[in-house]
Amino acid sequence: MKKNWLFPSIFGGIGIIMLVITVLLWVNEYNFKTHAEITAGTVVSLTYSSGSDGKDGTYHPVVEYKYHDQTVSFISSLGSSPPDYNEGDKVEVYFNPNKLHDAQIKSFASQWFGVTIIGSLGFVFTLIGLGIGLSIYKKSRNKEYLLANGQKIETVFQSVGLNGSYSVNGRNPYLIYSQWYDTIANKVYNFESDNIWFNPQPFIKSGKISVYINPSNPKKYYMDISFLPQDGNE
């Protein structure tokens, strides 16, 4: 069970951290703009910043502006490839009059790029974590309901296999498969267990596996694997 909560915990945790960073970036930008002044600036050159692999670098505009009789230059923290600016372009500049090199080009990208990207990723990661967590919670409630109110049937053990659609640390959990023939409806139903993090094959002594079904909808079920030993690694 602990392993089942690993993914939602990781995704949700990363998402929340990124949302907190987003709020901090927004507050920092808001405080900067509250005390900043606006003036005209000029792109005097472009500086190239190479990527981590030495390729796919970006061009950052070097901007000059005047404050009283002082000429101040700064390198924009936001770069692009191809460059968004050319030498000689006129731009508006936000700057801190008490710290003149604390400046940025007045544009949505320069001011809100980090907030938008990190906030969007944080929102997506949080939603994924919540979605997986909600699915696990609903599955747990469904198990409790069926154990208390479901119809217990004896199904025929079919096989044990790996769940290739799910893995933790490179490991895939095992699944037990069984089958039940409803003689009244003349229908065959196939069932599978919850994820099992050890090979259950040696512990299946009987050809019968108990399954609790919703009588009105046998597709809603829970396979009883309580006969298996507990996983000592959890």
Helix (H, G, I), strand (E, B) or coil at 132: helix
- pLDDT at residue 4 is higher than 70: no
What pTM was computed for the model? Answer: 0.65
Average pLDDT of span 46-50: 89
Letter for the amino acid at 2? K
Name which of 87, 196, 213 is nearest 145 in CA terms: 213
What is the C-alpha to C-alpha distance for residues 35 and 121, in angstroms, rounded to an integer? 29
Sole residue written with tokens 């809603």: 220
Instruction: Work out the average pLDDT over 124-138.
Output: 90
Beta bridge partners of residue 105, listed in sequence order = 93
User: How much is the average pLDDT of 149-158?
Assistant: 96
Q: Cα separation of 58 and 108, whole Å?
A: 18
Q: What amino acid occupies position 179?
A: Q
Helix (H) / strand (E) containing 190: strand 187-192
Work out the number of other CB atoms within 10 angstroms of the CB of residue 175.
20
Residue 151 Cα distances to 138, 143, 155, 180, 218, angstroms: 19, 12, 12, 13, 9
| pLDDT at 56 > cutoff 80 | no
- The predicted pLDDT at position 49 comes to 86
Look up residue 109 and give its two tokens.
């990208």
Residue 1: band (very low, low, confident or very high) from pLDDT cuts 50, 70, 90: low
Q: Give the pLDDT score at 9.
A: 87
Q: What is the pLDDT of residues 64-110, one digit of tens each?
A: 999 998 999 999 988 888 899 999 999 999 999 999 999 999 988 88
CA atoms lying within 13 Å on the CB side of residue 133: 13
Q: What is the pLDDT of residues 109-121, one digit of tens each?
A: 888 888 999 999 9
- Lay out the sheet containing 37-49: strands in order across: 70-75, 58-67, 37-49, 90-96, 99-105
Q: Give the model's pLDDT for residue 57.
A: 85
Q: For residue 2, is pLDDT > 60? A: no
